[in-house]
Amino acid sequence: MFKNILIAYDGSEHSKAAARIAGDIALHQEEGARLWVATVMDPIPREFGEPYFSQTIETRTIAGQKLIEEAVALIPGRVQIQRELLFGTPAESILRAAETRECDLIVMGTHGISPLEGALVGSQVQKVINHAHCPVLVVR
């Protein structure tokens, strides 16, 4: 039924539960499913200037990659996983990635708290639900 599943992951307890559930769903698809693990980091304002702009990109990229690997560790090893590190506002970035990757399910936590400002919060989840082209499974 589902071939491309996107999990929006920010490290919160809700997103950890969502990652486990998304992995389970992907594992139990008849033909197998590809799971896109996406983490969204805040965009970096150009006003930072150098060298702060480059340093901030590097810091957020490292933090985002760590979150992605944390999510991957929660998913069964037999699931085909793709990693997506996105910069932008959470809802818009998730919606764009889901559409670009032709996802047929988005899985995300009800609320999120990220160590950085790119946290998924209730209003971001609501935006995804309202504008997604595919079903959205929200996990508590």
Report H helices in the chain.
13-27, 52-73, 90-100, 122-131
Window from 20-29, 77-86, 94-103, 110-119 with minimum mean pLDDT = 110-119
Query: Would you state the pLDDT for residue 119?
Result: 47
For the chain, the domain total comes to 1
Query: Would you state the pLDDT for residue 48?
Result: 81
Q: Looking at the predicted structure, is the pLDDT value of residue 57 above 80?
A: yes
Q: Looking at the predicted structure, is the pLDDT value of residue 81 above 80?
A: yes
- Mean pLDDT for 42-57 is 88
Residues spanned by the domain of 86: 4-139
Q: What CATH number did the domain enclosing 98 receive?
A: 3.40.50.620
Query: Would you state the pLDDT for residue 90?
Result: 93
**Cα–Cα distance, 96 to 118 (Å, whole number):** 16
Average pLDDT of the chain, as a whole number: 91
| Percent of the chain predicted with pLDDT > 70 | 93
Query: Would you state the pLDDT for residue 35?
Result: 97
Q: Which residue has the higher pLDDT, 16 or 52?
A: 16
Instruction: Give the amino acid at 106.
Output: I
CB contact set of 5 (below 8 Å; sequence gap of 6+): 22, 25, 26, 33, 34, 35, 36, 103, 104, 105, 106, 107
Q: Which CA distances in Å does 64 have to 14, 47, 80, 86, 99?
A: 17, 22, 20, 8, 21
Predicted model pTM: 0.90
Tens of pLDDT, residue by residue over 90-137, are 999 999 999 999 999 999 998 765 444 344 457 899 999 999 999 999
